[in-house]
Amino acid sequence: MMSTIVFPDRAASARHARAEQCLARAAAAAAKAPVVGGARPWCWQLAGDTAVLSLVTRGRAAGTSRFAQDVVDCGSGLQHALTVLAGTGAEVALDLFPDATRPDLIASLRITGFGVATPAAVRAHRAVSLHTHPAALPGRATVPGPVWASLQRIATTIGARLSVPGTRTGDALVEPIDDTPAGWLNAGRALSAMALAPSMDRLILAPVRRAPSDTGAAFTIRLAVPADGTAPAAP
């Protein structure tokens, strides 16, 4: 299943053409986000300067482990979209879970203006364009400690937890800080941010697919060297 983008209000599109174009590019870039469940279970509705991200539940009840995993994936897509908006200088008002009676409504984004993107935001935006998904899950690699430390800082800043194996090889565990929709969403946002981190320029990061019977919103990530054998560099 792929993500979808809907334009329900053409009048609003005409009034806010620049904002909607930026939101459309951001929503399209979200499809490049790494996901744990193997699908991109979301829909974007764009109307002028506003975009609403909804979870396509496919009949999954709120509170189930599969629902939590879908929220994680939505968080990854959301962070990719926010990264693109920041890289274009868009100033965004973000409202997470705007309707308490609708757990499928993940976020509302409204562009409030345009400024000058920071160099770091521009680099991250470019990383979205360059980010690709490996055709097959890469093998494990020994990763320099500073790289893991950088990823842990990113996860902590966004509101997730990254547990690194003592050998610095194998799969690292990503967990939400709290077992709530907001916690699941932050875990997904951390996945996106870690995949785009500058320290990952010479590494591949991929989420490890979990069996359908697995429970919870925790997931693992794997770091590997590219197929050409280029060694990873510490930041």
**Pair of tokens at residue 223:** 């770091």
Q: What is the pLDDT of residues 134-192, one digit of tens each?
A: 656 666 667 778 888 899 999 999 999 999 887 777 789 999 999 999 999 999 999 99
| C-beta of residue 41 within 8 angstroms of C-beta of residue 56 | yes
Mean of the pLDDT values across residues 200-225? 74
229 inside domain = no
Query: Are residues 121 and 12 located together in one domain of the fold?
Result: yes
What does the mean pLDDT of the chain come to? Answer: 83
Place of tokens 């320029």: 201
114 inside domain = yes
8 inside domain = yes
Query: Are residues 170 and 56 located together in one domain of the fold?
Result: no
Query: Are residues 150 and 76 located together in one domain of the fold?
Result: no
Q: What is the pLDDT of residues 51-72, one digit of tens each?
A: 999 998 765 666 678 889 999 9
183 inside domain = yes
Angstrom distance (rounded) from CA 58 to CA 112:
33
Angstrom distance (rounded) from CA 63 to CA 114:
38
Q: 157 is in which domain, residue-wise? A: 145-224
Q: How far is CA 116 from the centre of its chain?
A: 23
Angstrom distance (rounded) from CA 132 to CA 80:
13
140 inside domain = no
What integer pLDDT is reported at residue 85 of this predicted model?
97
Boundary residue ending a domain (92, 107, 130): 130
**Pair of tokens at residue 215:** 């429970």
Angstrom distance (rounded) from CA 138 to CA 99:
39
Query: Are residues 9 and 117 located together in one domain of the fold?
Result: yes
Structural domains in the chain (count): 2
pTM metric for this prediction: 0.86
Neighbours of 9 (CB within 10 A): 16
